[in-house]
Amino acid sequence: MKAALIYTDDYNRYDYGAGHPLRMERLRLTYDLIDACGLTRLPTVQVLPPERPGEEWILGYHSREYVEVLRSASVGLAVPGAYRFGLGPGDNPIFPGMYDAASLAVGGSLLAARLVASGEAERAFSFAGGLHHAFPDRASGFCYLNDAVIAIQFLLERGLRVCYVDIDAHHGDGVQHAFYRDPRVLTISTHERGDRLFPGTGFVDELGEGPGRGYAVNVPLQPFTDDEVYLEAFEAIVPPLMKAFRPDVVVAQLGIDSHRTDPLTHLALTVNGFARAVRRILDLSPRLVALGGGGYDLGNVARAWTIAWALMNGIEPPTDLPPGFRPGVSSFRAATLWDPPYQETDEHRRWAREFASRQVQRIQETIFPLLAA
């Protein structure tokens, strides 16, 4: 299995600002843990820095006006009406190097897509990517440029059918929007229900339009959905649809803000449940471009993405953090890679399972016949 890990310390030059939930040091922490586990030195692994993307790739999805606004704001120039582009205090702050940081993430995901499309790697992981909320002319949800969309467009240009699987706690709205009428891309998003969490979308009746009808799939979930309930819904929907669609390549957004201790969301997964979902995605993927995504507890991010990278290389991750690895106390709750068993209360589990069952049934009634699943 040839695999490529995309990373550079340059990611750590950028900072969303004090108090912002998206902390770029999570990327360095993830790489350090992967490296400490010996997963950068495997004979079949390449560790490659991202390449700056050509402007034509960014403009293939984002409007020129928006890109120019990002560039100007990034170097400190005044941008009247920046709020019209989603920029300003709050989720999408203006900070020095903002455009460079966003374009570097795009470059990483494009490199991963190129390596997989060319056969240089069967699996590639650009964990700085997965910024799935950006729209053509505005920033949204901490995302300025949509690297996932741009990577998928690259794959489509090479004649490949793409299944996009998004397991972030937030709906992958920007990616769904980009391919809502395109039957060459099957988008599947599992996420906390949109009437309880940003971005307020991702309901089961959002199923694509025109030639893309049936190719947008949303599995909204109740707060307190734990591993068992999540995996039941995942297994009922994702494998049958992926098998029916028969993609040439899978693009997976592996956000870990679904974890039960994440400070911004309300699902109740552990890294163990996350890993089981990743294993199934790997089983179903002829080739894989893996991206990062959400995750606002730094220790959870590093542990989950280290486990995911090990699984991409066919290696069973160890139980404990590697000897000599000394993370900050605030980053890790315990010296283990895996979580202890966790189960929600009977009331929360019943509530979550009943809701998930209704969503699964609705998808099976509406989308399965359209895709002959």
Residue 325 pLDDT class (50, 70, 90 cuts)? confident
Helices 271-284 & 227-245 angle (0-180, nearest 10): 10
**332/329 Cα distance (integer angstroms):** 6
**370/373 Cα distance (integer angstroms):** 8
Mean pLDDT of 223-239: 98
Q: Find the CATH number of the domain harbouring 75.
A: 3.40.800.20
Instruction: Tell me how far CA of residue 2 lies from CA of 31, 125, 143, 153, 357, in angstroms.
Output: 19, 12, 30, 23, 38
Mean pLDDT of 149-172: 98
Does pLDDT of 99 surpass 90?
yes
Mean of all residue pLDDT scores within the chain: 96
CB 279 within 8 A of CB 316: no
Mean pLDDT of 48-56: 94
Q: What's residue 43's pLDDT?
A: 96
Domain holding 177, by residue range, is 3-371
Among residues 101, 51, 110, which one has the least CA distance to residue 73?
101
Residue 328 pLDDT class (50, 70, 90 cuts)? low
- List 132, 133, 170, 171, catalytic entry: 133
**312/3 Cα distance (integer angstroms):** 8
DSSP 216: E
| Number of structural domains found in the chain | 1
- Cα torsion 360, 363, 369, 372: sign: negative
Among residues 237, 228, 231, which one has the least CA distance to residue 349?
228
Q: What's residue 251's pLDDT?
A: 99
Higher pLDDT, 333 or 232: 232
Residue 259 appears among annotated catalytic residues: no
Q: What's residue 329's pLDDT?
A: 52
Does pTM top 0.95 for this prediction?
A: yes
Mean pLDDT of 292-302: 96
Q: What's residue 332's pLDDT?
A: 84
288 Cβ partners below 8 Å, 6+ apart?
Answer: 116, 122, 123, 124, 249, 250, 251, 252, 281, 282, 312
Mean pLDDT of 166-172: 98
Residue 335 pLDDT class (50, 70, 90 cuts)? confident
Q: How many CA atoms lie within 13 A of 97 on its CB side?
A: 12
Per DSSP, what are the bridge partners of residue 189? 166, 218
Q: Write out pLDDT tens, residues 58-89.
A: 999 999 999 999 999 999 999 999 999 999 99
Q: Chain-centre distance of CA 266, in angstroms? A: 17
